[in-house]
Structure 1
């Protein structure tokens, strides 16, 4: 078996049993939400069998930049899994997939509604052969509803759920989101959470279940405060008009004299007082009467010094002020290095190493997912018979 190597430091004790040891996951998903979900499960000790298209595999393999034979994206999301390549248009391949599912605990799929049914791999058919199966379907819009079959990406889900509108600037144009919130927070995280809940429920009742993960649906809790204000008081949030959308000088990004930016969030009164003390601007203490004027006055003061000068002045002061860092600067920050976020590494087939993803799994529950990034079709489906 030819595989790229992952050199990882396990953060669990050798004698500790992985939380999901003995759990088998058959993952039909591609790209980001499903693979990220099964990556979590793999790092908790589950055996993950990745079903890929014969010949081409997961589209993520072809992305750039490359890391060995495949993309770095694929390596980060699929370490520790096994790859089975099948042409699911062929009846014999479907039967091989069914044989895997028959002995699985979890199935993850990410097709549009109805596709798995047409392949003969839908929930009802799989439940008939494996009543204990936890079947998780991740889609953009869910299994039913007027938008269920509409093609979309993360940008569309954020547009349809009102998140993007809250990023609008002074010209009214919404900003382009730089985080794939729907894929990750709306897809991978809820899928992982509900799979774990379903496995826990199965311990009591003995039966699996169907999980409908709709990425768009799961974005709404991110704006809980806006929903509360709107439903309870009829005060729906607007860009530039609310506590976390730019309506207060206490939650803003201010430009410094050297073209950098300070993220200032002194929301509470004690932090606001400390903030103004550093700015030497006690006259701005009462900002409620003229928040726009106060914001402009603060901006004018911040613009008189460099970012480093402000950092020195705010050092040791509780005022909730940070310099806006690039991602490259952030990963080199002493705090994150000391916490060991990037200690574990992935090595490509030619020996190049990069840090692996710092997944939010507690060290006591974390398990080294394995020492391989699977090559396409490296595993024989018959090898997984129990």
Structure 2
């Protein structure tokens, strides 16, 4: 059995973009055996070296023609051996293919069927196309992101696809696995990115209702406050400031020699404070400011690029980044100190399907028919 708390859990992941693979990666990182099912044509084009990203690490892959009866029959045989299926189609597509939740749970009542969509399985928008930006738009989240007086700014596709989507689906799988220990039954998970994005902002409705949160970009945590923003340095880089609490603010102004700043509790002073901070940060390079704030509680950090982050002393000390097949990437998280995580490796083809209930002669026949690759 492999390493990690999910060792022994078997996952069938239908190939998709971003959130589905991310959920599968989260499970694989912690020991689950994840088999990604691609299209036959994709496998044929790529050959024995799967086209794979970091999101596919630790997985095995095959190609299967799910539009053929034999392909559907084969998928059902794989599902009979699985604990989890991750499905990423629009609502109704899996049912039309004959691999929907009821089709598979009829042969495997313990199966956990995780459905990953943007809009969810029902509702007026469920059958329509969309992307991360659309899901966070109708959740209300996008309206809160951006600077004052400017249009809403999507934070790339992190909130919908990954945090509100893939991570929520992985969490749902863990809930269902835990529940199955008590009931012996599987579960269907409806993971919708619009739901997940809305949930991530659970702190804010009460603040808005109580008048503690105003227009976009005017508040304490959205760049409205000079105590929570980024500032350019002399060399064109940036420092991030999060000196919200009085004691941290006191340390920042002392380190910068700005003890004469006006009272920050008066919002009317925020523009003047911001201007003074901006001028001060422009007086030194980022590296010089890093030295100034090294080891302090001022809550000031350098804004590192993705290529710089793995070299930061803190990240190096914790092993926050790892190298897999020559590519630097984030290590599995969170850490279970007594269990560890799975060995990390790029995705590979699975040639022997006997452990999934398909013997070599049957696999050979399927390959000859063009159903399996």
User: What TM-score bracket applies, with the shorter chain setting the length?
Assistant: 0.7 to 0.9
CA positional deviation for 1:83: 1.8
Aligned residue number for residue 345 of structure 1: 324
What SS does the corresponding residue of 1:295 show, helix, strand or coil? helix
Per-residue CA deviations over 1:50-98 (Å, capped at 9, x if unaligned) read 1111112599x79xxxxx9555xx2422233222211111011100101
Selected match of 1:26 from 12, 18, 37: 12
- Structure 2: distance between partners of 1:144 and 1:201: 24
Residues 239 and 246, structure 1, Cα contact 8 Å, conserved in 2? no
- Structure 2: distance between partners of 1:16 and 1:69: 23
CA distance 1:334–1:279, shift in 2 (3 Å): closer
Aligned residue number for residue 34 of structure 2: 48
Give the paired residue count: 355
Q: Which structure 1 segments of 5+ residues have no match?
A: 1-14, 63-67, 347-352
Aligned residue number for residue 247 of structure 1: 224
Aligned residue number for residue 290 of structure 2: 311
Aligned residue number for residue 10 of structure 1: none
Residues 256 and 280, structure 2, Cα contact 8 Å, conserved in 1? yes
Normalising by structure 2, we get a TM-score of 0.86
Residues 321 and 328, structure 2, Cα contact 8 Å, conserved in 1? yes
Structure 2 residue 357 is the aligned partner of structure 1 residue 385: yes
Aligned residue number for residue 143 of structure 1: 121
Most deviating of 41-50 and 104-113: 41-50
What SS does the corresponding residue of 1:30 show, helix, strand or coil? coil
Most deviating of 75-84 and 142-151: 75-84
Residues 276 and 285, structure 1, Cα contact 8 Å, conserved in 2? no
Aligned residue number for residue 363 of structure 2: none
- Structure 2: distance between partners of 1:180 and 1:21: 28
What SS does the corresponding residue of 1:56 show, helix, strand or coil? helix
Aligned residue number for residue 349 of structure 1: none
Aligned residue number for residue 238 of structure 1: 215
- Structure 2: distance between partners of 1:69 and 1:357: 22
- Structure 1: distance between partners of 2:205 and 2:239: 29
- Structure 1: distance between partners of 2:41 and 2:30: 30
Selected match of 2:81 from 100, 103, 123: 103
- Structure 2: distance between partners of 1:54 and 1:144: 30
Selected match of 1:259 from 233, 236, 240: 236
Aligned residue number for residue 112 of structure 2: 134
What SS does the corresponding residue of 2:176 show, helix, strand or coil? helix
Structure 2 residue 332 is the aligned partner of structure 1 residue 325: no
CA positional deviation for 1:200: 1.1
Per-residue CA deviations over 1:186-215 (Å, capped at 9, x if unaligned) read 112111111111111111111111100001
Normalising by structure 1, we get a TM-score of 0.84
CA positional deviation for 1:257: 2.8
CA distance 1:197–1:283, shift in 2 (3 Å): same
CA distance 1:31–1:287, shift in 2 (3 Å): same
CA positional deviation for 1:237: 4.0
CA positional deviation for 1:35: 1.5
Most deviating of 365-374 and 196-205: 365-374
CA positional deviation for 1:385: 1.1
Aligned residue number for residue 165 of structure 1: 143
Residues 141 and 147, structure 1, Cα contact 8 Å, conserved in 2? yes
What SS does the corresponding residue of 1:197 show, helix, strand or coil? helix
CA distance 1:257–1:354, shift in 2 (3 Å): closer
CA distance 1:234–1:141, shift in 2 (3 Å): farther
Residues 52 and 58, structure 1, Cα contact 8 Å, conserved in 2? no
